[in-house]
Structure 1
Amino acid sequence: MFHTVLVANRGEIAVRVIRTLRELGVRSVAVFSDADAGARHVTEADVAVRLGPARALDSYLNIERVLAAAAATGAQAVHPGYGFLAENPVFAQACADAGVVFVGPSARVVELMGNKIAAKRTVAAAGVPVVPGRVEPGMSDADLVAASTEIGYPVLVKPAAGGGGKGMRLVREPAALAEALRSARREAAASFGDDTLFVERFVDTPRHIEVQILADTHGNVIHLGERECSLQRRHQKIVEEAPSVLLDAATRARIGGAAVDVAAAVGYVGAGTVEFVVGTDRPDEFFFMEMNTRLQVEHPVTELVTGVDLVAEQLRVAAGEPLRITQDEVRLTGHAVEARVYAEDPARGFLPTGGDVLVLREPTGAGVRTDSGLRAGTEVAATYDPMLAKIVAWAPDRAGALARLDAALAGTTLLGVTTNIGFLRRLIGHPDTRSGRLDTGLVERHLEALTDPAGHALPGEPTADDALEVFGLVGAVGMVPTGSVVDPWDVPSGWRLGERAWSRWSVAAPGGAGGSPAREVAVQRAADGRLLVRLDGGGPRAAELDWLPAPTPGQPADALVTVDGRTRRWQVAASGSTIWVGADGFTWALAERRAESGADAAAGEHSGEARSPMPGTVVDVRAAPGDVVEPGAPLVVVEAMKMEHTVVAAVAGQVKDVLVRVGDSVALDALLAVVEPAPDGTADEAADSGPPRL
């Protein structure tokens, strides 16, 4: 075994690899950019080396700097994790040239299987069925249009390099193909440095089944069963499980054998994943999609049902050891499900978010595993991928695993960054998920219900009304002015010379172009100490707030809040003028809206101002001053955390100004462009000109 291994990655996967290195007694080396100087993976490694500035090209993607760090620390091997350089054949070859072991397959295999066109041809030659399509290298847009017509719509446009859903576009009609090709090429070039595309038939109600394989340098190849990864959004996996409820024992053996054949055909070495698409109505028929020549994000579910530490096996194989188990010894025990926690806001179209982690409590307990790169104080920026953590649960059966995962998510507290945890709870609680009626379109079909609690609230789920009541109670009970002299009139307790008054707040969620409509919350403390809370001028409700324990000024705290006899434990933290409240995995960022900003924010939708819906980088400018545009016309494309968002015109008119250029960094709500509304009354002169003042 190696004595020193450098982990060429960051976040939760770096922390996870470092954990296994520690268990094996191997010295670990972390690398970091300036943005990650205080990150968890840096402090948990034995040694840490700075690579460069925050930009990935100057740090995590800089091969020379990574190898220089390996040389400086005496690292014998480099574990690439996933993402960044994990599937870069140039990096794999550079490691070999430098005399450092790349923990993965050879550069030749990485290049072969990383090019989806070459991979499909190789696999088809080995007798493994592939999805029908046109996979010729170097196809122009005209070639792709012709191929799509030949295949028949709907089609999937896919990049020849890379994976993870980046650059993939589902096109259902010919009119949408040109824009899909342009967008796919841009995203593929940005993600993988290669804008080559191909097209294949889109399988209706497809299920995404992938098989974990292990291969050593002694000719042994085995599979460790399959994972179901059908719960996706925009081709990005959200929830994964092992084994799949779709496959019977015979099909499991066949698809596993096909994955082994793929690995053997290319001389694969290490841990890898062979991905297949399976039609819901034909579970015995599967087609090869691609092979990922690295560890997968969802590898923990395989580890939990097989008892095999895949990172440890990767390292042993890379050190030249033979596999320690045979195919006959592989056993799948119980069921495991994983949920990915992202820094994104499902209520705002899953746009990337960010901020400082004010409170972090990650779940533990029997059958629960958390892979995370977070800790309290971590700054989540738009620089890298939005995935923050993975929460995984195991149980003897699938129903038990889902129940345990839901409880783990409900027991997770993350204040300071808006995440998808509440959305994940609704998704795994959806009847189709519970029953195993899965396909890759499930999330999109039920998206409105999953993101709107009015459409699919969990039993007892905390609501926005509950959060507003907590905000008001915290304001009346917990916010006390400090200083040498406190004016009693400034204490938000309702104190007056006569009867106590109602303390009132006009509250809105911060952020978002145009803001959101204000809500009123009012609290009154009676002479006997009882509390009453009222929303939007409605009737008063009896309330209590008990701190657990008494809070320290300026520090996060827990509170038991009882409204009309129902008690719930809440977590509360302040950041500037924003109060974060959370319970059962759901969180809200709330702030008082000043009276002068209380106009109906919906009017802002008719403004000619185009603002950035997220912090990020401008990757394309689609309009110029003087252009005449219609509502919905693309103006600027902003990218953050590997996700693109096109900002469009809200009104018909003429572009008056474009304030950004490609490469500019922009903040949330930054003004990008201005459209002078056409003089036809479409613009509302009373529209609020900007976001709420907090």
Structure 2
Amino acid sequence: MFDTVLVANRGEIAVRVIRTLRALGVRSVAVFSDADADARHVREADTAVRIGPAPATESYLSVERILQAAERSGAQAVHPGYGFLAENAGFARACAEAGLVFIGPPADAIALMGDKIRAKETVRAAGVPVVPGGRDPDLAEAARELGAPVLLKPSAGGGGKGMRLVRDLGVLDDEIAAARREARASFGDDTLLVERWIDRPRHIEIQVLADAHGNVVHLGERECSLQRRHQKIIEEAPSVLLDEGTRAAMGEAAVQAARSCGYVGAGTVEFIVPGGDPSQYYFMEMNTRLQVEHPVTELVTGLDLVEWQLRVAAGEKLPYGQGDIRLTGHAVEARICAEDPARGFLPSGGTVLRLREPQGDGVRTDSGLSEGTEVGSLYDPMLSKVIAYGPDRATALRRLRAALAETVTLGVPTNAGFLRRLLAHPAVVAGDMDTGLVEREAAGLVPDEVPEEVYEAAVAVRLDALRPRQEGWTDPFSVPSGWRLGGEPRPVAFPLRVPGLDPVTRTARGTHTVTADRVDVTLDGVRHTFDRAGDWLGRDGDAWQVRDHDPVAASLDRAAHAGADSLTAPMPGTVTVVKVAVGDEVTAGQSLLVVEAMKMEHVVSAPHAGTVAELDVTPGTTVAMDQVLAVITPHEESEEAAR
């Protein structure tokens, strides 16, 4: 076994790998950018090395700086985690040339499976069924031959980045251009492929483990059909879709796929499966790394996959064969992401003001967070994972819902409450899922208004802040009682605003108890308990930022921009494209700017025909959520149409 291992990643996966290194008595080395100088993975490692400024291209994606850090720290091996350089064949080769062991598959296997077209050709020759498709340079032609709907995918990477489902071939060129930009930003390579889209598919993947002595086993499957924007958000093992015969057949196909590329280490073979006929499965791709969802496989097999990555990389043989692998119980994982369901799941950010992550009987949290963590727009939005295990699926689901209700991440909007409601959806409970289920049902799983008790709690906090704290005599005029000379008491009113919603004015109607970190309110005979931190209130995985609203300032702002519409940043991020200049005439719906955050693009369009009166950003400008980007003065006919 190695003495020292460098973890070439950040966030929850770096913390996860460090945990196993510590258990094995192996010294861990963390790397960090300037943005992560005080990050949890840096604090938990035995030593840490700065590798550059915040942008990933100048730090976590810099092969040269990673290798320099390994040399300086005395590391013998490098664990790439997932994302960044994990599936970069050049990085694997560079590690070998530097005398380092790359804890992953051989570079040639990474290169082969990283090229999704070559991968398909290789596994097809090994007898594994594949999805029909095509690739660059004949991408558009292949898409039109396949016919809509088709799926555009980056050839160089996975994780849903850059994937585009095209149902209207009339917008194919625009979708290809957008997919290329996202692929280039995520993987440094804008090569694309296209596949036939299978309606209402299920996403089933098989975990494989191979050593350098010719032994390959599979560790069962994971169901990953619950996705948004082609990104997995809930995963479970095993899948309720497969019977023992289909499980064995798919497992053997995955083993053959791994053998076909000379695979060594832990990897995942992904299949797309028609929900109506699981025996008709198709190879999609092979992820030549550890997967985000590996904990569910660990829990049902009892194996530590990171440990076995290390042991295989150190030259050990697998001590078990396929017949020794047993799947026991059921495990389900939920990915906690920095995104705001109430704002269309746009990426979010901020400072973690209060954090509570569930642990306990049948519950595990893998996280890179701590209180004070700054969540910015430079890296992936996933913050943590909550995983539940039980003797059966119903128990695992129930435990995970309860764990998500206990999850508190105040200061950064997350999807925890949304995931809790999703896991209670009848189709999910019944196991009747497909990759489009979340998109179809999302609107019904996002509350369309703020519960009244949230405003009541916000009022309670403000009333408590106004109460005098000194001992002894109290000036009665300093007490917020609503008392008036010669009249009935009038309750104190507070103008409040939740970002993205219209302001409201509320007075206290119930009873309250306020402490430093909690608010209890009883409204209409029902008691509600909230976690609190600053302007934030949280309950059952949901969170709201309730700010004070200044109606005078808002009125002055409206007057300053009378007759014009301000276009604001929908999320914290970076402006990557500016298509107009001050004085340009624009049409309704015209694309004006592109804002990128957490590897996701958002197009800002003109709300109506008009003239660009102000333009406050250029490509490369970092913007905060709701920051003004441009001001459009409408044409007279647009104003008349609006009236």
TM-score category, normalised to shorter length: over 0.9
Does residue 517 of structure 1 match 2:502? Answer: yes
Q: What's the offset of the Cα at 1:464?
A: 2.3
Relative distance call for 1:79 and 1:622 in structure 2 (3 A) is same
Q: What's the offset of the Cα at 1:453?
A: 5.3
Identical amino acids, percent of aligned pairs: 59
Does residue 492 of structure 1 match 2:480? Answer: yes
Residue of structure 2 in register with 1:588 after alignment? 544
Does residue 442 of structure 1 match 2:430? Answer: no
Does residue 397 of structure 1 match 2:392? Answer: yes
Separation of aligned partners in 2, 1:605 and 1:372: 46
Does residue 472 of structure 1 match 2:462? Answer: no
Q: What's the offset of the Cα at 1:312?
A: 0.2
Separation of aligned partners in 2, 1:560 and 1:679: 52
Separation of aligned partners in 2, 1:647 and 1:197: 25
Amino acid at match of 2:550: R
Residue of structure 2 in register with 1:280 after alignment? 275
Separation of aligned partners in 1, 2:118 and 2:435: 25
Separation of aligned partners in 2, 1:92 and 1:434: 42
Residue of structure 2 in register with 1:616 after alignment? 573
Relative distance call for 1:91 and 1:493 in structure 2 (3 A) is farther
Amino acid at match of 2:506: V
Residue of structure 2 in register with 1:566 after alignment? 526
Unaligned stretches of 5+ residues in structure 2: none
User: 1:469-512: per-residue Cα shift (whole Å, max 9, x none)?
Assistant: 111122223443679998754543435567543010111113x5
Q: Is the 8 A contact 1:620 1:638 kept in 2?
A: yes
Separation of aligned partners in 2, 1:619 and 1:476: 44
Q: What's the offset of the Cα at 1:93?
A: 0.6
Separation of aligned partners in 2, 1:288 and 1:6: 33
Residue of structure 2 in register with 1:134 after alignment? 134
Q: TM-score, normalised by structure 1?
A: 0.89
Does residue 144 of structure 1 match 2:144? Answer: no
Residue of structure 1 in register with 2:113 after alignment? 113
Does residue 638 of structure 1 match 2:595? Answer: yes
Separation of aligned partners in 1, 2:507 and 2:25: 58
Amino acid at match of 2:235: E
User: 1:339-371: per-residue Cα shift (whole Å, max 9, x none)?
Assistant: 000111011111111111111111111100000
Does residue 194 of structure 1 match 2:181? Answer: no
Amino acid at match of 2:394: A
Residue of structure 2 in register with 1:104 after alignment? 104
2:546 is paired with a residue whose SS is strand
Q: What's the offset of the Cα at 1:108?
A: 1.0
Q: What's the offset of the Cα at 1:99?
A: 0.3
Residue of structure 2 in register with 1:91 after alignment? 91
* Most deviating of 219-228 and 625-634: 625-634
Q: What's the offset of the Cα at 1:675?
A: 2.2
* Most deviating of 233-242 and 375-384: 375-384
Count how many residue pairs are aligned between Structure 1 and Structure 2. 640
Separation of aligned partners in 2, 1:16 and 1:683: 59
Amino acid at match of 1:109: A
2:280 is paired with a residue whose SS is strand
Q: Is the 8 A contact 1:109 1:266 kept in 2?
A: yes
User: 1:21-40: per-residue Cα shift (whole Å, max 9, x none)?
Assistant: 01001011111111111111
2:493 is paired with a residue whose SS is strand
Relative distance call for 1:343 and 1:500 in structure 2 (3 A) is same
Does residue 505 of structure 1 match 2:524? Answer: no
Q: What's the offset of the Cα at 1:681?
A: 4.4
Residue of structure 1 in register with 2:512 after alignment? 545
- RMSD over equivalenced CA pairs, Å: 2.2
Unaligned stretches of 5+ residues in structure 1: 455-462, 524-532, 534-542, 687-694
Q: What's the offset of the Cα at 1:679?
A: 1.0
Q: Is the 8 A contact 2:457 2:520 kept in 1?
A: no
Separation of aligned partners in 2, 1:295 and 1:666: 33
Separation of aligned partners in 2, 1:490 and 1:598: 28
Q: What's the offset of the Cα at 1:627?
A: 4.0
Q: Is the 8 A contact 1:207 1:278 kept in 2?
A: yes
Amino acid at match of 1:64: E
1:57 is paired with a residue whose SS is helix
Q: What's the offset of the Cα at 1:156?
A: 0.5
Q: What's the offset of the Cα at 1:684?
A: 9.8
Residue of structure 2 in register with 1:82 after alignment? 82
Q: What's the offset of the Cα at 1:134?
A: 1.4
Amino acid at match of 1:468: Y
Amino acid at match of 2:565: G
Separation of aligned partners in 2, 1:25 and 1:124: 42
Q: What's the offset of the Cα at 1:651?
A: 1.3
Q: Is the 8 A contact 1:651 1:683 kept in 2?
A: no
1:227 is paired with a residue whose SS is strand
Q: Is the 8 A contact 2:202 2:275 kept in 1?
A: yes
Residue of structure 1 in register with 2:227 after alignment? 232
